[in-house]
């Protein structure tokens, strides 16, 4: 019996375990919280990620370790490599934990990024903003996700408040990009270097958190091919094994790199029902050295994220080819508690059904930009 160990016991670990079960794979998750939601579907080892005695016991019970969270301490990932196989490798994890290193890598492989500068002092910030201009976004280099650790600067009058909010940590300041679209590529690379990617996904955020995704994203400009080539170069450069996401902006028709997530990603949840082999199953296959699965799309797919609390499930459950995912978490403001995926055979069918389902869910306003893309595409 093969066991995959997962550092982190959130919804991503939960969906990895659900995807791996039909392959006969067992899971063991490590989380400091007794009620980590993955523990509802897989055994939990309740421990801190810096508790090396607990990690030793963890390593003894698994065949391979992986992550559901990119901010696992780099030294924990490194220590684990001396006790078990670890995928993705700690170097890839460390790089994706640092926005500066990440953007530097993007530029090395030919992917442009918003203008940015490293910030260590208030004087650095003043100089950088004189160069980059306003609006801009100040971000912590580390431990940021879902829009956390970010401050938008609209005018020089915001500088003091931005510094007061974030001025302790190593920072990066970026030009605020008035992008046309946000896209992501979900890709997977196997232990023997095979690379596959899912069709391009278009994403909409609210308050820095993913709100809705559409896949495949309409693409008349050949952006998918470019995005894939960048994702492949990144994966090869990092000798990456497993599923990852590359988040992109489209600005003046060109791709800009925003960030990469060294794990399965929220914008790839549609692959559970929308692709023959989901991002979760492909991650499990990749880290175990199994053949990768088909990453094509079975039609047109829209994912709704539920933040804070779950609505009534009935409008989704009553809808053909609509799928409900309750992560089993306590409701809390800003927390991802579930998602739903609506699948259709054609864009036309999706337009009609999305309008109806969004209305029934009270999400008409958020669905409107998705409908606009479907109408234009
Ligand atoms: P991040 O955590 O960096 O992915 O930021 C979360 C979201 O904030 C992104 O998906 C964008 O919607 C927005 N955002 C972040 N950085 C920028 C930027 N430089 N320009 C415009 N929007 C941004």
Which of 114, 134, 175, 258 has the most ligand 1 atoms within 8 A of CB, as the residue to mutate? 258
Q: How confident is the model at residue 220 (pLDDT cuts 50, 70, 90)?
A: confident
pLDDT at position 3:
98
Q: Residue 1: its pLDDT value, please?
A: 87
Rounded mean pLDDT, 310-323: 95
Whether the pLDDT of residue 300 is over 80: the answer is: yes
Res. 333 pLDDT band, cuts 50 70 90: very high
Of 168-172, 304-308, 360-364, the least confident: 168-172
Rounded to the nearest whole angstrom, what is the distance from the C-alpha of residue 333 to the centroid of ligand 1?
20
What class does CATH assign to 115-175?
alpha beta
Burial of 130 (0-12, 13-18, 19+ CB in 10 A): exposed
Looking at every residue in the chain, the average pLDDT score rounds to 95
Angstrom distance (rounded) from CA 121 to CA 304: 40
Residue 64 near residue 85 (C-beta atoms within 8 A): yes
- Atom 1 in ligand 1: residue holding the nearest Cα: 147
Number of helices and strands in the chain (H, E): 13, 18
CA distance 377 to 366: 18
Q: In the chain, what are the domain boundaries?
A: 3-86, 115-175, 181-376
Local confidence band at 372 (pLDDT 50, 70, 90 cut-offs)? very high
pLDDT of residue 321: 96
The rounded distance, in Å, linking the Cα atoms of 245 and 361 is 28
- Structure token digits, residue 188: 């997977």
163 C-alpha to ligand 1 centroid (Å):
19
Q: How far is the CA of 6 from the centre of ligand 1 (A)?
A: 28
Q: Which residues form ligand 1's pocket by a CB distance below 6 Å?
A: 114, 137, 144, 147, 174, 176-177, 182, 205, 208, 247, 258-259
Give the CA angle between residues 94, 233, 250 to the nearest 5°.
90
pLDDT tens, residue by residue, 156-185? 999 999 999 988 778 999 999 999 999 999
Contact yes or no for 65/56 (Cβ under 8 A): no
| pLDDT reading at 149 higher than 90 | no
pLDDT in tens, 92-101: 999 999 999 9
CATH topology of domain 181-376: D-amino Acid Aminotransferase; Chain A, domain 1 (3.30.470)
Average pLDDT value for residue range 87-95: 95
Q: Among 97, 137, 307, which is best to mutate for testing ligand 1, by the most ligand atoms less than 8 A from CB?
A: 137
- Confidence label for 71 from pLDDT (cuts 50, 70 and 90): confident
Distance CA 122, CA 66 (A): 38
b/e for 115-129, b at 16 or more Cβ within 10 A?
ebbebeeeeebeebb
Q: What would the mean pLDDT of 98-120 be, rounded to a whole number?
A: 96
List alpha helices for the chain, DSSP H: 11-20, 52-61, 74-81, 90-96, 99-108, 122-132, 159-166, 223-237, 271-274, 279-287, 314-317, 347-361, 364-376
The CATH architecture to which 3-86 belongs is 3-Layer(aba) Sandwich (3.40)
Centroid of ligand 1 to alpha carbon of 99 (angstroms): 12
The answer to whether residue 146 scores a pLDDT higher than 70 is: no
Least Cα distance to 96 among 291, 221, 254, 240 occurs for 240
Looking at per-residue pLDDT, the higher value among 51 and 149 belongs to 51
- For residues 267-289, give the mean pLDDT: 98
d(CA 356, CA 373): 16
pLDDT digits (tens, 9 = 90+) for 10-59: 999 999 999 999 999 999 999 999 999 999 999 999 999 999 999 999 99
- Supply the pLDDT for residue 144: 66
What percentage of the chain exceeds 90 in pLDDT? Answer: 92
CA distance 203 to 353: 19
DSSP states of 195-217: EEEPPPEEEEEETTEEEEEEESP
Name every residue whose Cβ is closer than 8 Å to that of residue 113 and which is 6 or more positions away in sequence: 103, 106, 107, 174, 256, 257, 258
291 Cβ contact list (under 8 Å, min separation 6): 190, 285
pLDDT for position 221 = 83
Burial of 154 (0-12, 13-18, 19+ CB in 10 A): exposed
Identical fold at 115-175 and 181-376?
Answer: no
Q: Look-up: residue for tokens 């909010």?
A: 165
Over range 132-143, report the average pLDDT.
Answer: 92
298 pLDDT tier (thresholds 50, 70, 90): very high
């Amino acid at each position: 019996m093969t066991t995959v160990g997962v550092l982190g016991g959130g919804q991503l670990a939960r969906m990895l375990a659900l995807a791996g079960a039909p392959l006969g794979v067992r899971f063991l998750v490590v989380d400091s919280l007794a009620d980590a939601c993955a523990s509802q579907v897989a055994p939990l080892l309740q421990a801190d990620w810096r508790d090396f005695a607990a990690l030793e016991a963890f390593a003894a019970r698994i065949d391979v370790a992986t992550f559901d969270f990119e901010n696992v301490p780099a030294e924990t990932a490194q220590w684990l490599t001396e006790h078990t196989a670890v995928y993705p490798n700690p170097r890839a994890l460390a790089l994706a934990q640092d926005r500066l290193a990440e953007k530097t890598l993007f530029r090395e492989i030919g992917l442009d990024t918003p203008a940015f500068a490293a910030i260590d002092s208030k004087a650095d910030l003043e100089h950088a903003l004189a160069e980059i201009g306003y609006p801009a976004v100040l971000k912590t280099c580390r431990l940021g996700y879902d829009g956390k650790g970010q401050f938008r600067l609209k005018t020089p009058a915001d500088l003091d408040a931005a510094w007061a909010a974030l001025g302790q940590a190593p920072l990066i300041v970026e030009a605020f990009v008035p992008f046309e679209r946000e896209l992501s590529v979900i890709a997977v690379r196997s232990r023997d270097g095979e690379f596959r990617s899912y069709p391009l996904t278009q994403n909409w955020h609210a308050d820095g958190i993913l709100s809705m995704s559409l896949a495949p994203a309409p693409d008349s400009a050949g952006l998918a091919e470019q995005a894939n080539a960048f994702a492949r170069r990144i994966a090869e450069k990092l000798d990456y094994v497993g599923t990852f996401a590359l988040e992109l902006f489209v600005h003046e028709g060109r791709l800009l790199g925003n960030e990469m997530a060294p794990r399965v990603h929220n914008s790839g949840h549609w692959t559970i029902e929308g692709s023959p082999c989901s991002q979760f199953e492909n991650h499990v296959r990749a880290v175990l050295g199994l053949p990768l699965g088909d990453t094509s799309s079975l039609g047109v797919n829209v994912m709704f994220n539920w933040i804070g609390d779950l609505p009534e499930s009935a409008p989704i459950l009553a809808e053909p080819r609509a799928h409900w995912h309750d992560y089993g978490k306590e409701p809390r403001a800003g927390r991802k508690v579930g998602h739903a995926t609506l699948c259709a055979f054609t864009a036309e069918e999706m337009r009609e059904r999305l309008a109806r389902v969004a209305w029934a869910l009270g999400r008409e306003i958020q669905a409107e930009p998705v409908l606009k893309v479907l109408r234009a595409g």
